[in-house]
Amino acid sequence: MYNVRNVTDDIVWVGASDRRLALFENIFPIPRGVSYNSYVLLDEKTVLLDTVDAGVAGQFFENLEHVLGGRKLDYLVVNHMEPDHCAMIGDIVRRYPEVQVVGNAKTFTMMKQFFGTDFAERAVTVKEGDTLSSGKHTLHFVMAPMVHWPEAMVTYDEMDKVLFSADGFGTFGALNGNIFADEVDFDRDWLDDARRYYTNIVGKYGASVQALLKKAAGLDIAVICPLHGPVWRENLDYILEKYQKWSTYESEDQAVVIMYASMYGNTASAADALAGRLAAKGVKKIAVYDVSNTHVSELISEIFRASHLVFAAPTYNAGIYPVMDNLLSDMKALAVQKKTVALMENGTWAAMTAKQMREKLSELKDMTILDAQVTVKSSMAADQADELEAFADAIVESM
Ligand code: FEO
308 Cβ closer than 6 Å to some ligand 1 atom: no
Q: Give the number of other Cβ atoms within 10 Å of residue 306's Cβ.
A: 21
228 Cβ closer than 6 Å to some ligand 1 atom: yes
Name the residue type at position 170: G
Burial class (CB in 10 A: 0-12, 13-18, 19+), 355: middle
User: Domain tally for the chain?
Assistant: 2
Clarify whether residues 241 and 259 are in a common domain.
no
Tell me, in angstroms, the distance from the centre of ligand 1 to residue 38's CA.
12
Clarify whether residues 315 and 220 are in a common domain.
no
**SS3 at position 319:** strand
> Residue 321: its pLDDT value, please?
98
Protein residue whose Cα sits closest to atom 3 of ligand 1: 82
> Residue 120: its pLDDT value, please?
96
302 Cβ closer than 6 Å to some ligand 1 atom: no
Clarify whether residues 11 and 36 are in a common domain.
yes
CB 370 within 8 A of CB 342: yes
Clarify whether residues 265 and 223 are in a common domain.
no
CB 391 within 8 A of CB 376: no
* Atom number in ligand 1 closest to CA 170: 1
Clarify whether residues 87 and 214 are in a common domain.
yes
147 Cβ closer than 6 Å to some ligand 1 atom: no
The residue among 122, 119, 117, 78 whose CA lies nearest residue 100 is 122
Vertex 309 angle, CA 189 and 146, to 5° = 65
Gap between the Cα atoms of 387 and 399, Å rounded: 19
Clarify whether residues 138 and 215 are in a common domain.
yes
CATH of the domain at 263: 3.40.50.360
For residue 320, the cross-strand partners are 315
Tell me, in angstroms, the distance from the centre of ligand 1 to residue 85's CA.
7
Clarify whether residues 207 and 72 are in a common domain.
yes
The b-or-e profile of 33-44 (16+ CB within 10 A means b, else e) is: bbbbbbbbbbbe
Q: Using the 3D structure, point to which of 231, 247, 263 is the last residue of a domain.
A: 247
CATH of the domain at 224: 3.60.15.10
Tell me, in angstroms, the distance from the centre of ligand 1 to residue 376's CA.
43
Burial class (CB in 10 A: 0-12, 13-18, 19+), 99: buried
Give the tens place of pLDDT for each residue, 269-316: 999 999 999 999 999 999 999 999 999 999 999 999 999 999 999 999
* Atom number in ligand 1 closest to CA 228: 1
The segments of the chain whose pLDDT lies below 70 read none
Tell me, in angstroms, the distance from the centre of ligand 1 to residue 246's CA.
18
CB 52 within 8 A of CB 38: yes
Backbone angles phi and psi of 230, in degrees to 5: -65, 150
Residues in the chain: 399
Tell me, in angstroms, the distance from the centre of ligand 1 to residue 279's CA.
40
Clarify whether residues 153 and 280 are in a common domain.
no
Q: Which helix (H) or strand (E) holds 244?
A: helix 236-247
Gap between the Cα atoms of 334 and 170, Å rounded: 17
**SS3 at position 151:** coil
> What's the Rg (C-alpha) of the chain?
24
**SS3 at position 366:** coil
Clarify whether residues 203 and 282 are in a common domain.
no
195 Cβ closer than 6 Å to some ligand 1 atom: no
Gap between the Cα atoms of 18 and 60, Å rounded: 11
Gap between the Cα atoms of 186 and 136, Å rounded: 33
167 Cβ closer than 6 Å to some ligand 1 atom: yes
18 Cβ closer than 6 Å to some ligand 1 atom: no
Clarify whether residues 265 and 383 are in a common domain.
yes
Clarify whether residues 320 and 387 are in a common domain.
yes
Tell me, in angstroms, the distance from the centre of ligand 1 to residue 322's CA.
29
The residue among 162, 177, 157 whose CA lies nearest residue 226 is 162
User: Helices 206-217 and 236-247, interaxial angle, to 10°?
Assistant: 140
148 Cβ closer than 6 Å to some ligand 1 atom: yes
The rounded Cα 111 to chain-centroid distance in angstroms is 24
For residue 337, the cross-strand partners are 365
79 Cβ closer than 6 Å to some ligand 1 atom: no
Q: Give the number of other Cβ atoms within 10 Å of residue 6's Cβ.
A: 12
* Atom number in ligand 1 closest to CA 167: 1
Q: Using the 3D structure, point to which of 221, 247, 273 is the last residue of a domain.
A: 247
Gap between the Cα atoms of 346 and 352, Å rounded: 8
85 Cβ closer than 6 Å to some ligand 1 atom: yes
Q: Using the 3D structure, point to which of 224, 247, 270 is the last residue of a domain.
A: 247
User: Which domain, by its residues, includes 50?
Assistant: 5-247
223 Cβ closer than 6 Å to some ligand 1 atom: no
166 Cβ closer than 6 Å to some ligand 1 atom: no
Gap between the Cα atoms of 340 and 199, Å rounded: 18
* Atom number in ligand 1 closest to CA 36: 1
Name every residue whose Cβ is closer than 8 Å to that of residue 359 and which is 6 or more positions away in sequence: none
Clarify whether residues 95 and 143 are in a common domain.
yes
Give the tens place of pLDDT for each residue, 40-98: 999 999 999 999 999 999 999 999 999 999 999 999 999 999 999 999 999 999 999 99
CB 295 within 8 A of CB 308: no
> Residue 322: its pLDDT value, please?
98
The residue among 126, 83, 66, 68 whose CA lies nearest residue 101 is 126
Burial class (CB in 10 A: 0-12, 13-18, 19+), 46: buried
